[in-house]
Amino acid sequence: MTSRFTELAVDCHDPERLAAFWCEVLDFKAIDRSEGKVEIGSWVPTAEDVRSRQMPPTLLFIQVAEGKTAKNRLHLDVSPIDAGTEDEVTRLLGLGATRTDVGQGPDRNWVVMADPEDNEFCVLRTLAPQN
């Protein structure tokens, strides 16, 4: 008997808005919608695919009434795949992200940002081929 990590749920005020932001960041698509929920991913999960191999998790945005009150204890890290880190940070700022300080200090090779609902995430080193 075993389990698979299939989705990460994110509480938020506006699931449609946050799902749209993360679809742009990750090049995901909305794969399921219902009242107060939007699930996004790079694939449409099936039981057969999940059983046969470990698949990338989807993100599920769930509408809640309460607001965020503290720093996230769990966050996403993203790595640019076709641009430099600073170019990606600039793109994400244009999508509605903000730079944020969680006490990381000035001499880091990653950038801490927040999505439109203030959930922290990090932009790590680029994975783009170096010329």
Q: How far is C-alpha 75 from the chain's CA centre?
A: 8
* pTM: predicted TM-score of the whole model, two decimal places: 0.88
Return the pLDDT at 78: 96
Cα 60 to Cα 40: distance, rounded to the nearest angstrom: 6
| Sequence-separated contacts (24+) of 12-16 with Cβ below 8 Å | 12/61, 12/62, 12/63, 12/64, 12/117, 12/119, 13/63, 13/64, 13/67, 13/117, 14/63, 14/117, 15/61, 15/62, 15/63
Local confidence band at 1 (pLDDT 50, 70, 90 cut-offs): low
Strands 98-99 and 37-41: unpaired
pLDDT digits (tens, 9 = 90+) for 38-86: 999 998 777 787 777 777 889 999 999 998 888 888 899 999 999 999 9
Give the angle subtended at the CA of 84 by the CAs of 39 and 117, to the nearest 5°: 35
